Amino acid sequence: MSDTDSLIQSARTIRERAYVPYSNFKVGAAIRAASGRVYQGVNVENVAYPEGTCAEAGAIAAMVAGGDTAIAEVAVIADSPLPVSPCGGCRQKLAEFGAGDVPVTLATLDGGRLATTLGELLPGAFDKGYMERA
């Protein structure tokens, strides 16, 4: 099994733990950090709908809590006819910890895949370089 396949399987496995009593739309995410460690996340809904969190944000939080701060690869999976892309906010969150060339695989439960990169998902990302003063 390739590294990407194992990352997708990790996202698929954790997806079952998503808390989605309102939409019933489970999403799982797995991040391989530069250290090689894998961190998982799921979407967590809330009755105050905008207060929920995305699977990617959960995986990022787990990564940071685990002591890593650099993303090497990302996988996201959902039960959808087409691969589901991270929302705009999660694209920015992922860009905080990964370079534009970081591979991202978007997958479906029936085996569909879309390979992309963080840079393709968020061209012109706002980053810490904009915060530097001359």
**Residue among 89, 95, 90 at smallest CA distance from 123:** 95
Binding residues for substrate: 43-49
> Please, what is the Cα angle at 62 between 38 and 36, to 5 degrees?
25
**Residue among 128, 115, 120, 122 at smallest CA distance from 75:** 115
Binding residues: 43-49, 54, 87, 90
Binding residues for Zn(2+): 54, 87, 90
Instruction: Show which residues are catalytic.
Output: 56
Both tokens of 16, joined, read 């079952």
